[in-house]
Amino acid sequence: MKNKIIITMVILFSITKAQYSISHDPISFNPISVGNTASIEVSLTSDIAQTVSLTGIGGESSVFSLSTESIVYAEAGDSEIFTVYFEPQVAQSYSELLTITGSIFGTIDVSINGEGTLVEISVTVSDYDFGEVSLGDSVSTTIAIDNNGTGTMVVNPITSNDSQFYTSTDSVSISTGESEVIIIWFKPTLAGVHSAELSFTSNDPNNPIVTINLTGSGVTNVSGSVSGVWSIENSPYYIVGETTIQDGESLTILPGVTVLFNNDYNLNVYGA
């Protein structure tokens, strides 16, 4: 008799522990502009067949709403999708509690949070020229991204349409009235003048994409020991120091290549 009682208690304990599996807990929205709507799809699994009610949000004053208020699970272990919507009315943070209740058993509370924003992006420069940079070398500058509005400004992504120009990060989050400094690099791989647009995409409702025009020139500066082939793609070649073709080495200068000598430096040939 004692054994039967123990077995029954173990079974009841395992049932009361079984509830739900949910894909998002908490359900957190990225900051969005006031008046816009964002949505998140949530997967909910019930360990038994039952009807589940979703309550606690979606009233007249709520900025959150649901695609459905109940879900029917025909079989144990089924997963269903419901959608949570967020439409902020003023620039502030919001948080509500979603209650999930089963018709047979099981109740869980899930926090839903989001932030309404009215951000205003600005950057310290609209264009920048890196000047002349030797091939293989790199130079950098810094710019500040400012949030002159209200709420968290999310700048994502930060992109360049020329890989010779790149940044230290591809996204930043900036609080109200704050700024973030990023580094922009120019590393030329080809000789000549290069230009690019650096784009900043943010949740600024009035100016969602800001661009900076970047320019720079890749030059082939030469000094020391040289060999190999000088091609027209990397022309002109600037002799910026004493330059030598060592004994046993060779240098081929292809037709059309321009070689310019700075000051009184020489190209000394000891090889072939």
171-198 per-position pLDDT tens digit: 999 999 999 999 999 999 989 999 999 9
In this structure, what token pair is assigned to residue 38?
Answer: 């964002």
CA distance 250 to 271: 6
Q: What is the DSSP letter of 159?
A: E
**Which band of pLDDT confidence, cut at 50, 70 and 90, is reported for residue 3?**
very low
**Which band of pLDDT confidence, cut at 50, 70 and 90, is reported for residue 200?**
very high
Identify the CA nearest to 216 among candidates 141, 125, 143. Answer: 141
**Which band of pLDDT confidence, cut at 50, 70 and 90, is reported for residue 270?**
confident
- Name the average pLDDT for the chain: 91
Query: How confident is the model over 81-94, as a mean pLDDT?
Result: 96
Minimum mean pLDDT range among 27-41, 187-201, 232-246: 232-246
Query: How confident is the model over 125-149, as a mean pLDDT?
Result: 95
Minimum mean pLDDT range among 174-178, 225-229, 234-238: 234-238
Cα distances (Å, whole numbers) of residue 109 to 18, 54, 60, 61, 94: 15, 10, 21, 20, 16
Cα distances (Å, whole numbers) of residue 102 to 47, 54, 86, 181: 10, 9, 25, 50
- State residue 2's pLDDT score: 46
Q: Maximum CA pair distance of the chain? A: 108
- State residue 271's pLDDT score: 62
pLDDT at 35 over 90: yes
pLDDT at 16 over 60: no
Query: How confident is the model over 10-34, as a mean pLDDT?
Result: 73
Taken as a whole, the chain contains a residue count of: 272
